[in-house]
Structure 1
Amino acid sequence: MAERVHPAADSPPQSGHFSGNFSSGEFPRKPAPPPSTYVIQVPKDQIYRVPPPENAHRLQLLSQKKPNRSNCRCCFCSFLAAIFLLLVLAGISLAVLYLVFRPEAPKYSVEGFSVSGINLTSPSPISPKFDVTVRSRNGNGKLGVYYEKGSSVDVFYGDVDLCNGALPVFYQPAKNVTVVKTELTGSRIQLTSGVRKGMRGEVSKKTVPFRVRIRAPVRIKVGSVKTWRMMVKVNCDVTVDKLMAPSRIVSRKCSYDVDLW
């Protein structure tokens, strides 16, 4: 049988090896601490995680920012929800109004068009005058139309703005046809030789084309309530037989639209 070799008493124990007899239930003793040192044992339930001093300020800033971000997020979500709710309510209201009143845009046409003050035989500036009669038909059964201040009526020959004026202020009730007459004037309009030549040729054919442009601010009356201000846009192509009163309308064609906002 091989003999058991015991380490010397003064030789230090090797790392990773323990001396002693484990079969008897004894465990190796803990090494003694070096001189001038202390060992303090603290129970595990009394150990707390404390940030080092250099990170304490950063931890405080982060703890303050989190509630602010959360509050801002909540406010933003509430704002979006309120906007969405208002849009839904506005859409429902408009749908109900449309189903109840069935609104339709008024229809417009030029019923009279008289021209004077255009002399094509002289190169001097002209001061034309136009008497334009506009017919407005409100076919709505429950909606009235207020025509307010700030309207404009212009007459063009090609790209030349010959004269301007405005519609009168009036109220048009439901199921009503209103005819208004407006006088338009122009002052010292200089026509080029090409424009004069073209107008003379069209006068000889008795087909002088003009374009009438109308812009009128209106408000719709729904029961006893007035809506916001809207803009009616009317464009009419009118052809007359001569450039003196009384002029006769040869052809006319109007288009109209309403800007709701």
Structure 2
Amino acid sequence: MDSNQKLDQAAAAMADRVHPVKTPDPAMPDAAESPRSTTSSKTGGLPARKPGPEPGTYVIQVPKDVVLRQPLPGNAHLSKVYARRAARRRSRCCLCITWLFALVLLLAVAAGFLYLVFRPRAPNYAVTGLSISSFNLTAATVSPVFDVTVRADNDRNMKMGIYYSDASDITAAYDGVTLCEGKWPAFYQPPRNETVFVTELRGAGISLGADVERRLRAAQSEGKVPLEVNVEVPVRVKLGAMKSWTIKVTVKCEVTVDGLRENAVILNRDCHARVKFWGFLGL
């Protein structure tokens, strides 16, 4: 063996020590048959990279929570149509609210004008007489008859008349127990007028109860019997040529008489009336 061959063998041995070549495992598949080994051998053990963008193009990365949508031309047209419809609906709603507000304001102005012109006042009411009959406290039940004299004074109203309806209710009670009831007569009361009338109240088979009967006997013996006369009557108010719709007048009178008898003497009386005068716009 010449010197050149010896030098080549020595260089090969040295290269094998520096860069050893791994002997293939017979149990492993051939590297030529595995695509991963082929790719790794070409890329130096790194995974293959995705092909980059073509020259002259750009890649914009958007976060997942941000969505950019470009509507199609047909969808854009529909969006405009729906927007116009919504705008028209809002416009009609605003117009209705405006008209309603204007109507309420007009009614308030008209009511204020009528009040300033006519100056309506609630009439005064009083029970001026009371005659009681058929009130037998010794019976199990009582069927009393009250003849109540009422004075309706409309003298304070110079331009307001009142139409009283007979669809009314008048009751007389003692200690919360209704004794009899009747009706308010129907009539028209002109301005600056005082009307006195008598109405009959009747009760039938009223059971007082032991406690109420005992207190009533004691009041009868004392000569001071407190009674309540309550009135609810529908009325229509006339202001010039206008008439209101039906409103309700409520009167509560506390009357004390000297006994449960005919032509009883009224010892004390106090009446309060409640009338709402803000319904004058009916014609």
TM-score by length of 2: 0.71
Residue 126 (structure 1) aligned with residue 142 (structure 2): yes
Note the 1:96-175 alignment, pairs <5 A.
Answer: 96-122=113-139, 124-138=140-154, 139-175=156-192
Give the aligned residue type for 1:135. Answer: R
Q: How does 1:239-258 map to 2 (within 5 A)?
A: 239-258=256-275
Q: Secondary structure at the match of 1:104?
A: coil
The Cα of 1:149 is off from its aligned counterpart by 2.9
After TM superposition, give the deviation of residue 63 of structure 1 in Å: 2.2
Rounded Cα–Cα distance in structure 2 between residues aligned with 1:93 and 1:73: 30
Q: Identity over aligned residues, as a percent?
A: 39
Q: What's the offset of the Cα at 1:72? A: 0.8
In 1, distance between residues paired with 2:76 and 2:179? 76
Residues 132 and 261 of structure 2 are in contact (CA less than 8 Å); yes or no, is this contact kept in structure 1?
yes
1:204 maps to which residue? 221
CA distances 1:193-213 after superposition (whole Å, capped 9, x unpaired)? 111110110011110011000
Question: Retained in 2: the 8 A contact 1:153–1:167?
Answer: yes
| Structure (1 or 2) with the larger CA radius of gyration | 2
Shift of 1:64: 2.4
Tell me, in whole angstroms, the C-alpha distance in 2 between the residues paired with 1:58 and 1:152: 69
Match of 1:76, SS?
A: helix
Q: RMSD value over aligned CA atoms? A: 2.1
Q: Please identify which structure carries the higher helix content.
A: 2
Is it true that 1:179 corresponds to 2:179 in the alignment? no
Q: Deviations over 1:147-203 (max 9, x none)?
A: 013111011111111111111100000000001110000110011111111011001
Q: What is the letter of the counterpart of residue 137 of structure 1?
A: D
2:245 partner amino acid: W
Whole-angstrom CA distance in 2 between matches of 1:32 and 1:216: 97
Q: Is the 8 A contact 1:109 1:134 kept in 2?
A: yes
Q: Does 1:91 find its partner at 2:104?
A: no
For 2:108 and 2:85, how far apart are their aligned partners in 1? 35
Deviation at 1:238, TM superposition (A): 0.5
Change (3 A) 1:201 1:67: same
Aligned counterparts of 1:147 and 1:133: Cα–Cα separation in 2: 16
In structure 2, the residue matched to 1:36 is: none
Q: How many residues align?
A: 212
SS of the residue corresponding to residue 114 of structure 1 reads strand
What TM-score, normalized to structure 1? 0.76
Contact 1:145/1:171, CA 8 A, preserved across alignment: yes
- Cα distance 1:153–1:32, how it changes in 2: closer, same or farther (>3 A)? closer
CA contact (8 A) 1:167 1:180 kept: no
Secondary structure class of the residue paired with 1:171: strand
